[in-house]
Amino acid sequence: MDYNSSRKHLILPEYGRNVHKMVDFALTVEDKDERNRVVKSIIAIMGNMYPHLRDVSDFRHKLWDHITIMSDFQLDIDSPYEAPTREKLAEKPDKLPYHNERIKYRHYGRTVEALIGKAIEIEDPKEKDALILMIANHMKKSFLTWNKDSVPDEKIFKDITALSKGKLEIPENLKLAEVKEREYVQKIKKKKNPRTDNRNDNKNDHRKFNKPRI
């Protein structure tokens, strides 16, 4: 029996064994012009396998790259694109830079710290007080996202003073927007779990229409 485990390894299995055999045949064609015609026919067959990708901008470029890869980079053809190399394909991507800066209050996030830094730089008193009010209201909502308990305004003001290292003065008689903790948390849960809410609604509707008659 001829099992796949004993056959030649498929470099790109998504194209199947027949396409790989065609590429192997193209390697045996000695005349370059004839080899180019064979490769173009193989490219057309590969494209027909994925018709939904025909409108993708770099789709044909990928096909030419794939046929080079399937030939183990041995196919000598006149490609309309720069052929990939084994070294280029083996290159590892550069590491993404991550911020290692410490966030003092993680439940507020880094954006709040950046906003507080901007508020410190503002010289206009009215503009500074307006930004402090906006930051404080945002901090209150962020606090309730992670903590279901109520949060007094004094707690938010204290955290702003700590984050600004005493450089921001809280305006007198500043009042934050009233946020009902339970309602706010429920709104967040509904956004996170819309499927669960839909199921609950369907259950309630089912109960309404199937109440026993007395």
Query: Which of the given ranges, 52-61, 167-176, 203-212, has the highest pLDDT on average?
Result: 167-176
User: What are the pLDDT digits (tens) for 161-197?
Assistant: 999 999 998 988 888 887 665 554 555 555 555 555 5
Instruction: At 72, give phi and psi (nearest 5°).
Output: 60, 35
Amino acid making up residue 125? P
**Whole-angstrom Cα distance, residue 24 to residue 157?**
72
Going along 17-164, which residue ranges are E strands? none
Q: What is the mean pLDDT of residues 120-125?
A: 92
Contact 67, 39 (CB under 8 A): yes
Is pTM beyond 0.95? Reply is no
Q: What is the mean pLDDT of residues 10-38?
A: 92
Instruction: At 129, give phi and psi (nearest 5°).
Output: -65, -40
- 159: burial class by Cβ within 10 Å (0-12, 13-18, 19+)? buried
Contact 67, 23 (CB under 8 A): yes
Question: Between residues 2 and 161, which one has the greater pLDDT?
Answer: 161
Give the model's pLDDT for residue 200: 53
- Residues 6 or more apart whose CB falls under 8 angstroms from that of 164 comprise 116, 119, 120
**Whole-angstrom Cα distance, residue 135 to residue 66?**
52
**pLDDT bucket at 31, cuts 50 / 70 / 90:** very high
**Whole-angstrom Cα distance, residue 34 to residue 21?**
17
Q: Comparing C-alpha atoms, which of 127, 105, 131, 126 is closest to residue 116?
A: 131
